[in-house]
Structure 1
Amino acid sequence: MPVLDSPDRSASPGSPGSSAVRSRGAALAVLSAGTLMIILDGTIVNVALPSIQRDLGFSQANLAWVVNAYLIAFAGLLLLSGRLGDLLGRRRVLVGGLAAFTLASFLCGIADSAGLLIAARFVQGAAGAMVSAVALGMVLALYPDPHGRARAMGIYSFTQSAGGVLGLLAGGILTQAINWHWIFFVNLPIGLAATVLSLRLLPDDRPAGAAGSHQAEPDRGLRGVDVSGAVLVTAALMLGVYTIVKTTDRGWTSGSTAGFGAAALVLLAAFLIRQARAAQPLMPLRIFRSRIVAGANAVQVLVIAGGFGFQFMTSLYLQHVLGYDPLEIGLSLAPTGVVIGVMSLGLSARLGARFGQRAVLLPSLVLFAGGFLLLARTPSGGHASYVADILPPIVLMGVAFGLTMPSLLTLGMAEAGPADSGLISGVFNTAQQIGGALGLATLASIAGTRTDHRLAAGRSATAALADGYHLAFVVAAGLLVAAALLAGVLLRTPAGRTAGDLTTAGEQDADGPAVSSSPGTRPAPGRSGRTARV
Structure 2
Amino acid sequence: SGFTAITTAIGPVLGGWLIEHASWRWAFFINVPLGAAVIAISLWRIPESRGGAARRIDWLGALTATIGLGGLVTGFIESASLGWHNLLVLGSLAVGLIELAVFFLIESKQKSPMLPLALFSSSAFRGANLLTLFLYAALGIFFFLFPLNLIQVQGYSATSAGAAALPFILLMFVLSRWSGGLVSHYGPRLPLIIGPLIAAAGFALIALPSVGSSYWKTFFPALSVLGLGMAVTVAPLTTVVMNSVGQDRVGVASGINNAVARVAGVLAIAVLGVVMVAAFSSRLNQQIEKTSLPGNALHEIHTNEIKLAGMSIPAGLDPSTNASIKTLLSQAFVYGFRVIMFACAVLSVSSAAMAWLMIGDNRS
- For the superposition of Structure 1 and Structure 2, which TM-score range results when normalised by the shorter chain? 0.7 to 0.9
CA distance in 2: counterparts of 1:399 and 1:198, whole angstroms: 32
CA distance in 1: counterparts of 2:37 and 2:62, whole angstroms: 31
Q: 1:403 aligned to 2:232?
A: yes
User: What SS does structure 2 have at the residue aligned with 1:457?
Assistant: helix
Paired position in structure 1 for 2:266? 437
Which letter maps to 1:471? V
Which letter maps to 1:166? I
User: What SS does structure 2 have at the residue aligned with 1:394?
Assistant: helix
Relative CO higher for 1 or 2, CA cutoff 8 Å, sep ≥ 6?
Answer: 2
Q: Which of residues 298, 312, 328 is equivalent to 2:160?
A: 328
Distance 1:255 1:311, change over 3 A: same
User: What SS does structure 2 have at the residue aligned with 1:458?
Assistant: helix
Q: Which of residues 478, 484, 487 is equivalent to 2:346?
A: 478
For 1:271-310, list aligned pairs within 5 A.
271-310=103-142
CA distance in 1: counterparts of 2:164 and 2:62, whole angstroms: 42
- Give the drift of 1:255: 4.7
CA deviations 1:57-83 (Å, max 9, x no partner) are: xxxxxxxxxxxxxxxxxxxxxxxxxxx
Paired position in structure 2 for 1:370? 201
Distance 1:356 1:402, change over 3 A: same
- Give the drift of 1:163: 5.0
Q: Which of residues 267, 270, 284 is equivalent to 2:102?
A: 270
Paired position in structure 2 for 1:170? 14
- Give the drift of 1:319: 1.4
Distance 1:166 1:309, change over 3 A: farther
Q: 1:318 aligned to 2:147?
A: no
Number of positions where the alignment pairs a residue of Structure 1 with one of Structure 2: 325
User: What SS does structure 2 have at the residue aligned with 1:456?
Assistant: helix
- Give the drift of 1:484: 0.9
Q: 1:356 aligned to 2:190?
A: no
Paired position in structure 1 for 2:42? 198
Judge conservation of contact 2:182–2:236 (CA < 8 Å) in 1: no
CA deviations 1:248-292 (Å, max 9, x no partner) are: 434556553333222222222223223333444443321111111
- Give the drift of 1:425: 2.9
- Give the drift of 1:376: 1.6
Distance 1:188 1:258, change over 3 A: closer
Identity %: 27
Distance 1:402 1:166, change over 3 A: farther
User: What SS does structure 2 have at the residue aligned with 1:320?
Assistant: helix
Question: TM-score, length-normalised on structure 1?
Answer: 0.56
Paired position in structure 1 for 2:81? 249
Distance 1:238 1:163, change over 3 A: farther
CA distance in 1: counterparts of 2:83 and 2:235, whole angstroms: 35
For 1:140-179, list aligned pairs within 5 A.
154-155=1-2, 159=4, 164-179=8-23
Q: 1:384 aligned to 2:186?
A: no
CA distance in 1: counterparts of 2:144 and 2:77, whole angstroms: 14
- Unpaired runs of 5+ in structure 2? 289-327
Q: 1:229 aligned to 2:53?
A: no
CA distance in 2: counterparts of 1:297 and 1:252, whole angstroms: 30
Judge conservation of contact 2:279–2:336 (CA < 8 Å) in 1: yes
CA distance in 1: counterparts of 2:197 and 2:60, whole angstroms: 42
User: What SS does structure 2 have at the residue aligned with 1:378?
Assistant: coil
Judge conservation of contact 1:162–1:336 (CA < 8 Å) in 2: no
- Unpaired runs of 5+ in structure 1? 1-153, 210-215, 500-531
The structure carrying a bigger helix percent of its residues is: 2
Judge conservation of contact 1:245–1:437 (CA < 8 Å) in 2: no
**RMSD (Å), alpha carbons:** 2.5
CA distance in 1: counterparts of 2:86 and 2:345, whole angstroms: 27
CA distance in 2: counterparts of 1:258 and 1:304, whole angstroms: 27
Which letter maps to 2:345? A
CA distance in 1: counterparts of 2:105 and 2:82, whole angstroms: 31
Distance 1:246 1:340, change over 3 A: farther
Judge conservation of contact 2:137–2:264 (CA < 8 Å) in 1: yes
Distance 1:249 1:296, change over 3 A: farther
Judge conservation of contact 1:241–1:434 (CA < 8 Å) in 2: no
CA distance in 2: counterparts of 1:415 and 1:370, whole angstroms: 29
Question: TM-score, length-normalised on structure 2?
Answer: 0.80
- Which ranges of 4 or more aligned residues in structure 1 deviate by more than 4 Å? 161-165, 251-255
Which letter maps to 1:334? L
Paired position in structure 2 for 1:467? 335
Judge conservation of contact 1:247–1:441 (CA < 8 Å) in 2: no
Judge conservation of contact 1:450–1:468 (CA < 8 Å) in 2: yes
CA distance in 2: counterparts of 1:275 and 1:178, whole angstroms: 45
